[in-house]
Amino acid sequence: MIKKMDIYISKYFIKFFLMNIIGFMGVFLLAQTFKIIKYINQGKLAGGEIFDYIINLLPKMFVETAPLSVLLAGLITISIMASNLEIVSLKTSGIRFLRIVRAPLIIAFVISLIVFFINNSIYTKSLAKINFYRRGEVDESLKLPTTKENAFFINNTDGYLYLMGKIIEKLVWQKI
């Protein structure tokens, strides 16, 4: 059963979560503005595609900023309640701390389920559109290294473990 205390705490938690998520997504969008300008100058994005590109960036921004926003919303909510001596008065009236933070924990769990859904369904589709707008430009974090120092190779048939000093991708593919 939802009590007035749960509604009171949830209201502040959701308010601070929304403020944090909007602020963090604004910072991310501001950082992406320079890439958008670069794509416009290179001719990869036309006028009508800019808005669609930004809309497709929003799921990625939400997935990356939601955990930090939940954390900060929880910290801010509890901190404000502690500074107003609300937690002390609730604890002296016999309410356990776990009962006080139960509503924000449930909301955080629901937000994590939403992030999971967005990450598995919406983000994958928007990533395909983002890569289409980039027209073949691969993100640096997704590229595999061309050389590998001190690589190990396990022979599955004999069970031997080999240490290879340096593997260069071009030479390996040329010899095969």
Q: In this predicted structure, what is the pLDDT of residue 10?
A: 94
Which pLDDT belongs to residue 26? Answer: 94
Extract the tokens encoding 51.
């808005």
Residue 93 region by backbone torsions, left for phi larger than 0, else alpha for psi between -120 and 50, else beta: alpha
The H or E element spanning position 108 is helix 102-117
Q: Is the pLDDT of residue 174 over 80?
A: no
Prediction pTM value: 0.70
Residue 15 confidence (pLDDT) above 90:
yes
pLDDT at 114 > cutoff 60: yes
Mean pLDDT of 148-158: 63
CA distances, 26 to each of 4, 49, 143 (Å): 33, 20, 27
pLDDT of residue 176: 47
Residue 171 has pLDDT above 60, yes or no: no
| Cα 45-49-55 angle, rounded to 5 deg | 120
Calculate mean pLDDT across residues 27-49.
85
pLDDT, tens digit (0-9, with 9 covering 90-100), for 43-63? 777 778 888 888 999 999 999
Please determine, for residue 11, whether its predicted confidence score (pLDDT) is greater than 70: yes
Residue 65 binned pLDDT confidence (cut-offs 50, 70, 90): very high
